[in-house]
Amino acid sequence: MAKSYPWNCPYSYAEGDVIRSIDLDGLEKYIIHQRSFAPWEFFGEIASGGQYKYSGDHRGFSILSDNMIKTKVSTAMTLDISAAKATLTVAKQFGNTIRYDGETGEALKTAPIVNPEVIMWNAQRNGSEVSVKARIEGQAPLAPFPILDPISSLIDQPIVWTGETSIDNHISDGYINVSYSLIGKGFPAFESFIEDAKGTKLFIGAYTSPAKSNILQALSGSELSLSRTFNTKISTDQDGNFNGVYTKDRNGNDVVVSPATYNAQISNASPARDLPGKKFLSMKISLWVIVVGLSFMLMSCDHTLHCEKHFIPSGYVGKVTVYFNQKNGQKQYDKDGCIVYSIPKDGKCLSALPIKQGTAYPNQTFTFFELVSKDSTNQIFEFYENEYLKDTIHNREKKYIFLLSSGYSEGNYNFEYYVDYGKAYKSHLHY
């Protein structure tokens, strides 16, 4: 036993983790982390007309511990899947919010830490599946203008989301299925990851924030404006600790990728629509090296995604699903290096791209176009409820992209959205 558990002392209660874990019977326990963060160095300039700006968390997607990074809203809960019991252990803001002068950059005020409010439901068991849900709300500690700071809690548009994690226990067969559902306003960026008893962490959800120019639009919307579902099949040892994540290779065979490889695919993605991902930055650096003469570097550059374009048939209304890792699927790029998805008339697009090159998580730019004719297209934009309400007559006859869900399904990655007219927006608000 000592060889199998070198990190654990036989006299240790809760494996030395008495704050976050309750060791009821020594069986499987996991920690579910949910965090929302502002990925920019500064943001909020638009709300004050450029007079002020506010410190962001200045980071990308990460599984680092809370004390190593900044996060506007961070929560963690332990989930004992044997006892079907969940306990909230962290609900906190990590890192201060600072107001700066918009022109000089002078620091004007450091706000006090404002911890989030969490409403947590009891864990539920359904056969081999255990699920837990929590609604999380984080308040802005500073108002757009200093004079409004005393009433900031009254006028603030909070960060709100509800996250539900379900774990289907097949540890005896060497795996668990984790489903994570996110419903919220869709601003700013969001990440969720699961941690096992040995401290191994795996992303189970991530959401790229809209550009910071859309902050007012996103935060003033309904807390049901955004919906995403992520499904992950995790390989485990006999004690439920993580070995890696199931996916498919280029030939469609099941493979298990290591936690480091899997997590890198998400942490390298762009955390906001107006920020490049780490892979994109590294590609630009590599291309610069090529220009100065080290042309052999070209062999090490993969076709890193920094934009993608979806072309939808003329007159199409309905659900679109992109299936990745398909043997005979599409693999198209345009002259700018953007991935191109030509959506068939049935809305089911098969892509040959693997996860690391496809839309595993949103990258720098998504664009959607309707093919009006051979040489003509109309761009279709993502739907935001408050944008629709600004111009009801005009927007009722416009087509929109209603994002549905994305995540792993049966070892594969799918991306789904709905194409519909603005007049049908009420039927999509639950997505």
The answer to whether the beta carbons of residues 207 and 359 sit under 8 Å apart is: no
- Output the pLDDT for position 355: 55
335 and 196 belong to one structural domain: no
In the Cβ-directed half-sphere of 191, how many Cα atoms lie within 13 Å? 27
For residue 401, how many other CB atoms are within 10 A of its CB?
Answer: 19
Cis amide leading into 188 (omega within 30): yes
DSSP letter string, 328-379: T-B-EE-TTS-EEEE--TTSEEEB---TTTTTSS--S-EEEEEEEETTEEEE
Structural domain total, the chain: 2
DSSP state of 392: H
- Tell me if residue 183 falls in helix, strand or coil: strand
Residue 193 covered by a domain: yes
72 and 178 belong to one structural domain: yes
- All residue ranges of the chain with pLDDT < 50 are 1, 3-7, 11-15, 17-27, 279-305, 356-364, 409-410, 430-431
Residue 134, token pair as written in the block:
């929590």
166 and 250 belong to one structural domain: yes
Residue 288 covered by a domain: no
Nearby residues of 39 by Cβ (< 8 Å), 6 or more positions away: 56, 57, 58, 59, 60, 188, 189, 209, 271, 272, 275
Residue 151, token pair as written in the block:
């009433």
- Output the pLDDT for position 336: 66
Question: Which burial class, exposed, middle or buried, applies to 173 when counting CB atoms under 10 A from its CB (0-12, 13-18, 19+)?
Answer: exposed
- Output the pLDDT for position 395: 75
Residue 5 covered by a domain: no
User: Where is 263: in which H helix or E strand?
Assistant: helix 259-267
317 and 243 belong to one structural domain: no
Residue 37 covered by a domain: yes
- What is the CA 104 to chain-centroid distance, rounded? 34
Question: What values do phi and psi take at 325, rounded to 5?
Answer: 65, 35
The answer to whether the beta carbons of residues 207 and 189 sit under 8 Å apart is: yes
Question: What values do phi and psi take at 208, rounded to 5?
Answer: -80, 130
* Cα end-to-end distance, the chain, whole Å: 48
Instruction: Report the amino acid identity of residue 294.
Output: L
> Tell me: the pLDDT tens digits for 382-407?
776 555 555 567 778 888 888 765 55
- Output the pLDDT for position 413: 66
Residue 172 covered by a domain: yes
Q: How far apart are CA 413 and CA 407, in angstroms?
A: 6
Residue 9 covered by a domain: no
The answer to whether the beta carbons of residues 338 and 309 sit under 8 Å apart is: yes
Residue 254, token pair as written in the block:
């099941």
Rg of the chain over CA atoms, in angstroms? 23
193 and 128 belong to one structural domain: yes
Question: What values do phi and psi take at 84, rounded to 5?
Answer: 55, 55
Residue 280 covered by a domain: no
Residue ending a domain, choose from 217, 249, 267: 267
315 and 237 belong to one structural domain: no
Residue 298 covered by a domain: no
Nearby residues of 315 by Cβ (< 8 Å), 6 or more positions away: none
- Output the pLDDT for position 404: 64
- Output the pLDDT for position 22: 42
* Domain span including residue 150: 14-267
- Output the pLDDT for position 429: 60
Nearby residues of 147 by Cβ (< 8 Å), 6 or more positions away: none
Q: How far apart are CA 167 and CA 78, in angstroms?
A: 13
- Tell me if residue 215 falls in helix, strand or coil: helix
- Output the pLDDT for position 366: 73
- Output the pLDDT for position 300: 31
- Output the pLDDT for position 250: 64
Place of tokens 């959506």: 343
343 and 244 belong to one structural domain: no
Residue ending a domain, choose from 236, 267, 298: 267
Q: How far apart are CA 410 and CA 38, in angstroms?
A: 32
pTM for this one?
0.63
Residue 166, token pair as written in the block:
């379900």
235 and 357 belong to one structural domain: no
231 and 311 belong to one structural domain: no
262 and 362 belong to one structural domain: no
- Tell me if residue 385 falls in helix, strand or coil: helix
135 and 217 belong to one structural domain: yes
Place of tokens 């490049």: 276
Q: How far apart are CA 373 and CA 312, in angstroms?
A: 11
- Output the pLDDT for position 5: 47
189 and 326 belong to one structural domain: no
